[in-house]
């Protein structure tokens, strides 16, 4: 005999169970990472307030000088378009409603719920941090803006939406497009003088972190929902073969 009877009678864990356990661990580690990122964003805000006296970093001031020096009418149009797309009624009401309706039509109800939770949480956290730190905005600003420069709500909204859609569609080009959109939003906010560059970094961290934290509890449901059309299609093809 090569092994003891007790060893041979010990139940073996199915590969599917191991995969599910590994997924649960990886999902919660993502959530933990998102929580840490959120704390880092809050720490950056505290650093600005208490170390810099709520004034811009040297990098902030240097970047703003370069931006103001290179402002041209040709760049104003895309910057104002990004300002409209990323904020106001369109960004906070029209676009979310259209996305939720689209997801519901596609029967991605868990995806729609995930999107709503992440979006609302992102807005609330941004407003909480804005009210807490009350950082002054740059003086040479080209648009109307509310009180509180840190973090950038436009960038946080862009990052949240990009990460949420990336999780829902699971396509490389979607992640790339979302990253490009968020970076363009960061550049446009500093170009318009609405934010210091550190504000946009804070918005990026907050928006991405909120999306990841919100995703973790829904990860399994979203995975099943995403694969459901494939499962239905495979069943129909099997029935056709029979």
Q: pLDDT grade, residue 235 (50/70/90)?
A: very low
Asked whether the predicted pLDDT for residue 146 surpasses 60, the reply is yes
- Stated length of the chain: 242
Q: Which pLDDT tens digit goes with each residue over 87-105?
A: 888 888 888 999 999 999 9
Choice among 18-22, 75-79, 117-121, 138-142 with the minimum mean pLDDT:
18-22
- Residue 56, in any domain of the structure: yes
**Count of domains in the chain?**
1
Q: Is residue 215 part of a domain?
A: yes
Asked if residue 240 belongs to a domain, the reply is: no
Instruction: Answer whether residue 20 is part of any domain.
Output: no
| Domain assignment present for 238 | no
Please tell me whether the overall predicted TM-score, pTM, comes out greater than 0.85 for this model. no
* pLDDT value at residue 237: 44
Q: Is residue 214 part of a domain?
A: yes
Q: Which residues contact 136 (CB under 8 A, 6 or more apart)?
A: 54, 55, 149
Helices (H) and strands (E) in the chain, counts: 10, 0
- Distance of CA 237 to CAs 54, 106, 107, 240, 242, Å? 63, 21, 21, 5, 9
Residue 72 sits in which domain range? 25-226
233 assigned to some structural domain = no
Mean of the per-residue pLDDT values for the chain?
83
Domain for residue 131, yes or no?
yes
Q: Which residues fall within 8 angstroms of residue 108, CB to CB, at 6 or more apart?
A: 168, 225, 226
In this structure, of 17-21, 64-68, 86-90, 156-160, the range with the lowest mean pLDDT score is 17-21
For the chain, percent of residues with pLDDT exceeding 70: 82
């Amino acid at each position: 005999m090569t092994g003891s009877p007790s060893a041979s009678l010990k139940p073996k864990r199915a590969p599917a169970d191991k995969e599910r356990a590994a997924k649960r661990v990886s999902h919660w580690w993502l959530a933990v990472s998102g929580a840490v990122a959120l704390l880092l964003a809050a720490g950056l805000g505290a650093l600005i307030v208490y170390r810099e006296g709520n004034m811009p970093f040297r990098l902030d001031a240097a970047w703003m000088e370069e931006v103001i020096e290179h402002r041209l009418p040709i760049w104003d149009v895309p910057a104002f378009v990004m300002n409209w797309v990323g904020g106001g009624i369109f960004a906070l009401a029209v676009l979310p409603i259209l996305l939720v309706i689209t997801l519901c039509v596609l029967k991605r109800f868990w995806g729609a719920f995930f999107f709503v939770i992440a979006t609302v949480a992102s807005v609330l956290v941004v407003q909480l941090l804005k009210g807490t730190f009350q950082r002054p905005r740059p003086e040479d600003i080209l648009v109307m803006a509310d009180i509180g420069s840190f973090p950038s709500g436009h960038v946080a909204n862009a990052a949240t939406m990009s990460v949420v859609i990336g999780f829902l569609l699971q396509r490389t080009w979607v992640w790339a497009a979302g990253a490009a959109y968020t970076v363009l939003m960061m550049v446009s906010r500093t170009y318009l003088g609405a934010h210091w560059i550190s504000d946009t970094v804070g918005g990026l961290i907050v928006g991405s972190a909120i999306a990841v934290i919100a995703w973790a509890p829904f990860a399994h449901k979203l995975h099943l929902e995403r694969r459901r059309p494939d499962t239905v299609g495979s069943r129909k093809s099997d029935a056709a073969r029979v």
